[in-house]
Chain A
Amino acid sequence: MPNRRALIGGAAASVAAAVLVAPHVRAQARPGVVVVGGGFAGASCARALKQLDRDLAVTLIEPEAAYVACPFSNAVLAGLRDIEAQTFSYDQFDDIEFIRRRAVAVDAERRRVRLDDGEDIDYTRLVLAPGIELRFDALPGYDEAAAESMPHAWKAGSQTLMLRDQLAAMPDGGVVVLSAPANPFRCPPGPYERASLIAHYLKTSKPRSKLIILDAKDAFSKQRLFEAAWQELYPGLIEWVPLSSGGRVTEIDPATRTLVTEFGSHRADVANVIPPQRAGRIAQLAGVADQTGWCPIDPVTFESRLQPEIHVIGDAVIGGAMPKSAFTANAQAKACAAAVAALVRERQPAQPKLINTCYSLVAPGYGISIAGVYQPRDGLLAEVEGAGGTSPLEAPSSVRELEAAYAEDWFRTITREVFG
Chain B
Amino acid sequence: MTSHDMRHTKNRRGRRSLTPVLPVLPVLLAGLVSSATAWADAAPPGATACTGCHGPAALGSVIPSLDGRAADDIVAQMQAFRSGEREATVMGRIARGYTEEETRAIAEWLGKPEATRHAKP
- A→B interface (CB under 8 Å): 1, 3-4, 6-8, 10-11, 13-15, 17-18, 21, 24-25, 28-32, 47-48, 51-55, 57, 91-92, 97-100, 327, 330-331, 334-335, 338, 341-342, 345, 350-355, 357, 369, 371-373, 375, 384, 386-389, 391, 399, 402-403, 405-406, 409-410, 412-414, 416-417, 420
Q: Which residues of A contact B98 (CB under 8 A)?
A: 353, 373, 387
A-B contact pairs, 9 of them (CB 8 A): A14-B28, A97-B11, A97-B15, A354-B46, A371-B93, A387-B95, A399-B89, A417-B51, A417-B119
Q: Which residues of B contact A32 (CB under 8 A)?
A: 20
Q: With the chains together, A91 CA to B121 CA distance in Å?
A: 12
**Which chain A residues lie closer than 8 Å to B4 at the CB level?**
91
Interface contact A92-B33, CB-CB below 8 Å: no
Pair B32/A10 contact, Cβ less than 8 Å: yes
Question: How many contacts A-B (CB < 8 Å)?
Answer: 195
The closest CB in chain B to the CB of A124 belongs to: B20
* Cα(A387)–Cα(B92), bound, Å: 8
CB distance from B5 to the nearest CB of A (A): 7
Would A99 and B89 count as touching, CB distance under 8 A? no
From the candidates A331, A372, A373, A413, name the one contacting B54 in the complex (CB within 8 A): A413
Q: Are A409 and B94 CB-contacts (below 8 A) given A57-B15, A416-B55?
A: no
Q: How many residues does chain B have at the interface if contact means C-beta atoms less than 8 Å apart?
A: 56
Is the pair A355, B28 in contact by a Cβ cutoff of 8 Å? no
- Shortest CB-to-CB span from A299 to chain B, Å, is 12
Q: Which of A8, A21, A389 contacts B18 (CB 8 A)?
A: A8
B87: nearest chain-A partner, CB-CB: A399
| Contact indicator B29/A55 (Cβ below 8 Å) | yes
Report yes or no: B40 in contact with A53, Cβ–Cβ below 8 A: yes
Complex CA gap A413/B61 in Å reads 8
Contact across chains for B38 and A355 when beta carbons are under 8 A apart: no
| Segment 1-55 of B: residues with Cβ below 8 Å from A | 4-5, 8, 11-12, 14-15, 18-26, 28-29, 32-34, 38-40, 42-46, 48-55
- Chain B residues with CB below 8 A from A373, complex form: 46, 94, 96-98
Cβ contact within 8 Å between A327 and B52? yes
Q: Are B39 and A345 in contact (CB under 8 A)?
A: yes
Contact, CB under 8 Å: B28 / A353: no
B88 to chain A, nearest CB (A): 10
Residues of A within 8 A of B53 (CB): 357, 406, 409-410, 413-414
A269 to B18, CA, bound (A): 58
Residue of B nearest to A91 (CB): B4
Q: How far is the CA of A243 from the CA of B24 in the complex (A)?
A: 57
> Of B22, B28, B49, B52, which one neighbours A410 at CB under 8 angstroms?
B52
Report whether B38 and A18 are in contact in the complex, using a CB–CB cutoff of 8 Å: no
**Given the complex, which residues of A lie within 8 Å of B15, measured CB to CB?**
57, 97
What distance in Å separates the Cβ of A100 from its nearest Cβ neighbour in chain B? 7
Distance (whole angstroms) from the CB of B30 to the closest CB of chain A: 11
Which of B21, B25, B42, B121 lies in contact with A29, CB distance below 8 A?
A: B21
Please, which residues of chain A bring their CB within 8 A of the CB of B29?
55
Contact B121 A6 (CB under 8 A): no
| In the bound complex, CA of A355 to CA of B40 (Å) | 22
Question: Is B55 a contact partner of A413 (Cβ separation < 8 A)?
Answer: yes
Residues of A within 8 A of B94 (CB): 355, 357, 371, 373, 387-388
Q: Kindly list chain B residues whose C-beta atoms are within 8 Å of the C-beta of A372.
A: 93, 97
* Assembly CA distance A402 to B89 (angstroms): 8
